[in-house]
Structure 1
Amino acid sequence: MNSAAGRAWVGARLGVLALLWGSTFLWIKLALAALAPVQVTFSRCALGAAVLLVLCLRARHRLPRGRTLWRHIVVAAFFCNALPFAMFSLGERSVSSGLAGVLNATTPLWSVLIGTAVGTERGLPPVRLAGLVLGFAGTVLIFAPWSQTGPVGWGALAILAAAASYAVGFAYMARHLVGRGIPTLSLSAAQLVAAAGLTALTLPAGGLVAVHLPAKALIAVTVLGIFATGITFHLTYRIIADEGATNAATVGYLLPVVSVVLGAIVLGEALNPRIVTGMVVVLVGVGMTRRHKRVPSPAAPEALSRSPLPQPE
């Protein structure tokens, strides 16, 4: 495959991932019309795990083995799947799907903040520090604590908690799971199996009541589980493994756009200028935190000139 075709393929895969991942918030909102938050969370984990297990079977991949590895998978499943999925379902009871996507875009900001706190982000450059401050300033603008009509509440806080949980989960996955010679399909399937098990434990908290699923809600939860959870999660793993975390992270810039557009078109969600301004400020701040200084190597400047974007510090 030539370089132009390769770039086109990477771009297409990122575009599909952005559309699937960005539509998650729409499907959650539609599913919540008939299901409790815990039911939405369990359904998407179980359906996502089921479709990836079928793909593993077709590809003749086995699930990972070993107690230590499975302990890492369970921890990753909690922070990257079970907890944030639950927080999104809880949060979207009072927050629009478009705003949920915007608040989810703070994940890279939490990643930098957590990395600085634990020492993995050392010597934070002024541009990235300014981006961190600017990104959270945009979040404050969206919350509008000075305005009684602002979307301040437990719902928005739950979604911010989900974004922070994603940051912890992605860092844990990168350190303990990715790049260890295990097929990404096996890893993603195992992690969603673990997430389904964790969320099943929460079903007694309002998830065991009988439900009536109208066609719209049934379609929503099916698409949410199979495509927006199972396929999306596997694509994320593949992009991290094939192109690196930096290229995978670029999809985060598109999620708020997809969620806001779908929310406005499908659900008729309104956006005021303050929230739009806050969204732009958050995305600019996120972009600044992804800036990295490239240091040319005197031994191989030609190779560096052809290399992709640098990896996160």
Structure 2
Amino acid sequence: MDWRIRFGVLALIWGFSFLLIKVGTEAYAPFQVTLGRLLFGTAVLAAAMAVKREALPRGARTWGHLTVAAFFLNALPFSLFAYSELTIPSTLAGICNATSPLWGMALSLVAFSEDRPTRRRVAGLGIGFIGVLTVLGAWQGFSGLDFGGTAMALLASLSYPVGWIYLRRTLGGSGNSALSMTGAQLLLGTAQLAVVTPLFTTVPTSFPVVPLLAVVALGALGTGFAMLLQYGLVAEIGPTTAQMVTYFIPVIATVAGVTLLGEDLSWNTPVGALIVLAGAALTQSRARTRTGITARRT
């Protein structure tokens, strides 16, 4: 299948994930939605590892670092997004997710000496911040906005670059395959939620079909299958082009939330989202070299 088709499928799957979270939390507690998501996602990656005869990583050090990565890349952000959508629309959660590259750029400037601040990146951060204020309707005093839910969605977006930076600093060049590392990471994330969920929730008395199917799709497609698609894209077209899928997710999340869930959409939400995406794209770009070739930070 042509990579452009797989790219589009990946954008659709991740864009619809926020709708699936909203549907899942209509019947199940956020921790239960997250546990189901991780469980079914792990099952898909375990099947892929069995087919490719991939083994789990070895070494206590590797598993220790993967435990931390599983918390910041899976358990924490998945749970925060699920809780946030109890009080905010899925469209807003999807747009908050688009701030992740902005957080990542800001953190990388602190964590890595080779990531020097440039006028282009600083401008991108400023533009992105203006976009966030536009989405939130700052000139209205954030009227009608649930601060707690929005803060959780933004924290979830911040958690992703924290996890990636941690992996880069601790397990970069470990020699293990991406499939093996992510399979172990999801397994550890599932274990973390398996411990936490019974402490804060009770076993559901009923299992409505539609929310249950939403959780299954969120895990099997939005987590497991989506990661397999991402591996293939990175291997074929490189991480720079593959990461561009991030900029389509809020658009799809917004369309899905408005058309299928009937969520309200004021003018400042899509306008602010476009400004956020423009700022994020600018922070990921580099100035042109003398040969006219533009490079991007992967």
- Give the alignment's TM-score, normalised by structure 2: 0.92
Contact 1:91–1:156 (CA under 8 A) maintained in structure 2: yes
Q: Deviations over 1:79-98 (max 9, x none)?
A: 11111001001101011111
Partner residue of 2:105?
112
Q: Following TM superposition, by how much is the alpha carbon of 1:121 offset from its aligned partner in structure 2, in angstroms? A: 5.7
Partner residue of 1:132?
125
Contact 1:48–1:227 (CA under 8 A) maintained in structure 2: yes
More deviation in 138-147 or 213-222? Answer: 138-147
Contact 2:13–2:221 (CA under 8 A) maintained in structure 1: yes
Partner residue of 2:295?
310
Correspondence 1:56 to 2:49: yes
For 1:138-157, list aligned pairs within 5 A. Answer: 138-145=131-138, 146-147=140-141, 149-157=143-151
Partner residue of 2:22?
29
| Alpha-carbon distance in structure 2 between the residues aligned to 1:126 and 1:211 | 56
- Change over 3 Å in CA distance of 1:61–1:283 after alignment to 2: same
Code of the aligned partner of 1:129 = V
Contact 1:239–1:248 (CA under 8 A) maintained in structure 2: yes
Correspondence 1:66 to 2:59: yes
SS in 2 for 1:51: helix
Q: Deviations over 1:253-307 (max 9, x none)?
A: 10001101111121011210111221111111112112212435xxxx7xx96xx
Pick one of 76, 87, 95 that aligns with 2:88. 95
Q: Tell me how large the CA RMSD over aligned residues is.
A: 2.2
Q: Following TM superposition, by how much is the alpha carbon of 1:174 offset from its aligned partner in structure 2, in angstroms? A: 3.9
Code of the aligned partner of 1:31 = G
Pick one of 280, 283, 293 that aligns with 1:289. 283
- Give the alignment's TM-score, normalised by structure 1: 0.87
SS in 1 for 2:66: helix
Q: Following TM superposition, by how much is the alpha carbon of 1:11 offset from its aligned partner in structure 2, in angstroms? A: 2.2
| Alpha-carbon distance in structure 2 between the residues aligned to 1:268 and 1:284 | 27
Correspondence 1:199 to 2:193: yes
Contact 1:34–1:211 (CA under 8 A) maintained in structure 2: no
Q: Following TM superposition, by how much is the alpha carbon of 1:178 offset from its aligned partner in structure 2, in angstroms? A: 5.9
SS in 1 for 2:62: helix
Q: How many residues align?
A: 297
Q: Name stretches of at least 5 consecutive residues in structure 2 with no aligned partner.
A: none
- Change over 3 Å in CA distance of 1:216–1:110 after alignment to 2: same
Q: Following TM superposition, by how much is the alpha carbon of 1:59 offset from its aligned partner in structure 2, in angstroms? A: 1.8
For 1:237-256, list aligned pairs within 5 A. Answer: 237-256=231-250
SS in 1 for 2:297: coil
| Alpha-carbon distance in structure 2 between the residues aligned to 1:235 and 1:229 | 10
Partner residue of 1:273?
267
| Alpha-carbon distance in structure 1 between the residues aligned to 2:231 and 2:205 | 33
SS in 1 for 2:86: coil
SS in 1 for 2:2: helix
SS in 1 for 2:198: coil
SS in 1 for 2:273: helix
Q: Name stretches of at least 5 consecutive residues in structure 1 with no aligned partner.
A: 1-7
Contact 2:21–2:82 (CA under 8 A) maintained in structure 1: yes
For 1:159-198, list aligned pairs within 5 A. Answer: 159-177=153-171, 180-198=174-192
Contact 1:38–1:205 (CA under 8 A) maintained in structure 2: no
State, as a whole percentage, how many aligned pairs show the same letter.
37
Q: Following TM superposition, by how much is the alpha carbon of 1:66 offset from its aligned partner in structure 2, in angstroms? A: 1.1
Q: Following TM superposition, by how much is the alpha carbon of 1:238 offset from its aligned partner in structure 2, in angstroms? A: 4.3
Partner residue of 1:15?
8
